[in-house]
Amino acid sequence: MKKIISGKVREVYDLEDGRMVIVTTDRISAFDVILPTMITDKGKVLNALSNFWFDLTKDITKNHMISSNLKDMPAEFQKSEYEGRTILVKKLKMIPYEVIVRGYMFGSMYEAYKKGEPFLGHSFTKKYEQAEKLDEPIVTPSTKAAEGHDINVTLDYMKNDLGAELGTKIEETALAIYKKCYEHAAKNGIIIADTKFEFGLDENGDLVLADEVLTPDSSRFWNAAEYKVGTSPASYDKQFIRDWLKANNLAGDPTIKEVPADVVKKTSELYHECVRKITGKDL
């Protein structure tokens, strides 16, 4: 067993038998800086949400989950510190794209729209306000950069690179997952404005959903009760801690020493509220 990835949030161990162990920590990053203070239970919330969505969407596509039971894992992980934040997964040949599904006119897409410019191959004839729901969600991939920032590309670019059959399969699967999960979240007071998926291929060449799924770290979750077209809606992602960093001129500052306890507490509460609403239970 060897650690092969130590990311901003996750630690990944290769068991060298076709399986991996993924541990989701309480680390949080903002503006490309891993903050020095942990967010209580954040890793457990992200893990619980991903596991919930994997189960909900298994009728749409395979996923990489094998087990979340520590008893199924090597002895090194059968400790209380790993409980609730660790999964055993199938190792895949990962597809080198993040597959972003956007359901609302927001962010960089809205900025392009305001200028009358197409957005990654998508043009809009209908008039939209900020944060307005699109008639149909769209897929905009990005390349997964080993270093630096990912690069947004058109859907046609990804299809030309991977082949039309696989590219179309990825597009259709991502949209099907988004639509099913969107409906579930909406019934529980959360709007999934956009999200990103990652896929891999198994030993049979079948498409498999991997990584994390529909968490506040990989998605833009809005509180439906406070949602209003034409505004920047309140969200369950890292926006609260981003706002604190900007207000204190600490955005992107790698020398930050500590995040105040009240900011940690509020951020943790937002993550807990998200998992309660979506899964119907807290950790």
Mean pLDDT over 55-68 rounds to 98
Per-residue pLDDT tens digits for 112-153? 999 999 999 999 989 999 999 999 999 999 998 666 578 999
Range of the domain at 72: 1-91
The per-residue pLDDT for 15 is 97
Asked if residue 197 is part of any domain, the answer here is yes
pTM: 0.94
Per-residue pLDDT tens digits for 62-120? 999 999 999 999 999 999 999 999 999 999 999 999 999 999 999 999 999 999 999 99
Shared-domain flag, residues 87 and 101? no
The per-residue pLDDT for 145 is 67
CATH number of domain containing 210: 3.30.470.20
The per-residue pLDDT for 47 is 97
What burial letters (b/e) apply to 149-187, b meaning 16+ CB within 10 Å?
Answer: eeebbbbebbbeebeeebbebbbebbbebbeebbebbee
Shared-domain flag, residues 120 and 78? no
Shared-domain flag, residues 43 and 108? no
The per-residue pLDDT for 1 is 86
Domain boundary among 71, 91, 111: 91
Asked if residue 259 is part of any domain, the answer here is no
Dihedral of alpha carbons 111, 113, 118, 120, sign: positive
The per-residue pLDDT for 150 is 80
Shared-domain flag, residues 79 and 118? no
Share of the chain above pLDDT 90, in %: 92
- Number of folded domains that form the chain: 2
Beta strands in the chain (DSSP E): 2-6, 10-14, 19-24, 29-30, 33-34, 62-63, 65-67, 86-90, 93-94, 97-104, 133-143, 151-152, 190-201, 207-210, 219-223
Contact 163, 156 (CB under 8 A): no
Domain boundary among 226, 244, 271: 226
Mean pLDDT over 210-220 rounds to 95
* Token code pair at residue 11: 């630690």
Shared-domain flag, residues 8 and 61? yes
Where does residue 93 fall: left (phi above 0), alpha (psi -120 to 50 degrees), or beta otherwise? beta
